[in-house]
Amino acid sequence: MSAGRVVLGVCGGIAAYKSVYLLRLLVQQGYSVQVIATQEALRFVGPVTWAALSGRPVLSELYDQKTGKWHNHVHLAQDVDLIVVAPLTAHTMAKWACGLCDNLLLAVLQSARVPVFVAPAMDSDMYAFGPNRENMQKLESLGVRILPADYGPLASGETGQGRMAEPDFIFDRLECFMDGLPSLRDVRVLITAGPTREYLDAVRFVSNASTGKMAFSLAHAFRNCGARVHLICGPTALRPPHDCQITWVTTAREMEEACKNVQGEWDIFVGAAAVSDFYFPNPSERKLKKEHLPAALPIAFNPDIVAYMATQASEKQLVVGFALESENPPKQARHKLIQKNLDLVVANCVQEEGAGFGLHTNHVWLVDRRGSLTEIPLQSKNKVAAQIVKHVGEIYLRKLHAGSENLS
């Protein structure tokens, strides 16, 4: 069964090579993909590559010169679940924004009724060029979802903003999209992510297997709602979404400090990090010799960040916690909700195969202050995140408009 039907539009820029990886990610995850490339795009990556990976011929012209076959752009634009254009060049963007239509991709884009995501890619000066910014804004005002270009080295040899978003970023953003996501435009979301580390000496520490994936998927889903996201991240090998504000921390106390520093600058707080409950007071600045390691390690308790954030929250702010449990996650989640005075708890089970740490999948239960329990079955963390964010967004908007909810 197809995970979804996608049109992948490709324009003529060097970043077209990165879209090969995007296509591969989509196909590997079960999406059926029709590639529509401009003639310029086919100079960068040939038709055989697109056809081999998508399993269907790449389309480019409004009609086939040899057979005279006409490609129905309305059918292509509307009989899919979403369209993504990566890379989007300045030229195609300009033609699209002013309604010019001289190729199949433009005809499809102008007939689209499904969500359209675009990943612009160009040199940094072009990216900053006024008319290009205006075209981007114009498309955005028409409902097109812009995946902003990243900073870094460019094909020109310069460094700046203009690099196409990475394929895994684009894939995550698409997978974190679902119908019915509430609009949270400019709502400020603060999320803790990943593990913390508590050092015993210069090289040894206690931590856990959190990768930050669940938190980063939430960040993508919130961005899909138009929210502004600030991630406070413990050490992780995964790259957080580049269009979020990032604060890196190591220990739980640093994470708490970072959260306190932005007190009053958030509307929704999500504690998705796996925070160590304890630390070692007075860690050695040097590597301890094996023979000097103490037989027993004194510990001190870390602050409970999410509980602290709940004590500081105003009527209009929403605090969401997680609960990682070995047994009966919904029951434990209800307990944590009351104990820490949270608005919502997302429970997952560390014992369950496919759920919890590290993996790209999860199975969660949502427990809220009305006493309702919602189960989100095992699926990719991106899809789980979209459903969590839909739920969180609805509670937030209700709270914003109607005041706080009563504990049942």
Which residues form the catalytic set?
208
How many CB atoms are located within 10 Å of the residue 205 CB?
Answer: 19
Which residue, 182 or 356, has its beta carbon nearer to ligand PMT? 356
State the nearest-atom distance from the C-beta of 261 to ligand PMT, in Å. 16
Which residue, 277 or 353, has its beta carbon nearer to ligand PMT? 277
Segment contacting ligand PMT by CB under 6 A, of 48-56, 205-213, 292-300, 389-397: 205-213
State the nearest-atom distance from the C-beta of 340 to ligand PMT, in Å. 7
Exposure class string for 75-91: b at 16+ Cβ within 10 A, else e = ebbeebbbbbbbbbbbe
State the nearest-atom distance from the C-beta of 346 to ligand PMT, in Å. 7
How many CB atoms are located within 10 Å of the residue 4 CB?
Answer: 16
* C-alpha to C-alpha distance for 201 and 219, rounded to whole angstroms: 33
> Residue 101 has which token pair?
């239509």
Which residue, 114 or 378, has its beta carbon nearer to ligand PMT? 378
How many CB atoms are located within 10 Å of the residue 306 CB?
Answer: 24
Site size for ligand PMT, by CB under 6 A? Answer: 27
* C-alpha to C-alpha distance for 205 and 280, rounded to whole angstroms: 9
State the nearest-atom distance from the C-beta of 385 to ligand PMT, in Å. 10
* Burial grade of 48 (CB within 10 A; 0-12, 13-18, 19 or more): exposed
Q: What are phi and psi of 98, to 5 degrees?
A: -110, 15
State the nearest-atom distance from the C-beta of 171 to ligand PMT, in Å. 16
What track of x and - describes contact with ligand PMT for positions 163 through 202 (by CB under 6 A)?
A: -----------------------------x-x--------
* CA dist list (Å): 378 to 111, 221, 309, 315, 360: 35, 17, 29, 33, 10
Which residue, 361 or 404, has its beta carbon nearer to ligand PMT? 361
What track of x and - describes contact with ligand PMT for positions 230 through 269 (by CB under 6 A)?
A: ----------------------x-----------------
Q: Hey, is 33 helix, strand or coil?
A: strand
Among 9, 234, 329, 356, binds ligand PMT (CB under 6 A): 356
Site for ligand PMT in 268-327 (CB under 6 A): 271-275, 277, 302, 304-306, 321-324
Which residue, 188 or 363, has its beta carbon nearer to ligand PMT? 363
Instruction: Name the pairing type of β-strands 4-10 and 31-37.
Output: parallel
Beta carbons within 8 Å of 43's beta carbon, 6+ residues apart: 12
Which residue, 144 or 244, has its beta carbon nearer to ligand PMT? 244
Does position 380 interact with ligand PMT (CB under 6 A)? The reply is: no
Q: What are phi and psi of 44, to 5 degrees?
A: -85, -45
* C-alpha to C-alpha distance for 260 and 13, rounded to whole angstroms: 44
**Contact residues for ligand PMT, defined by CB under 6 A:** 192, 194, 210-214, 252, 271-275, 277, 302, 304-306, 321-324, 336, 348, 356-358
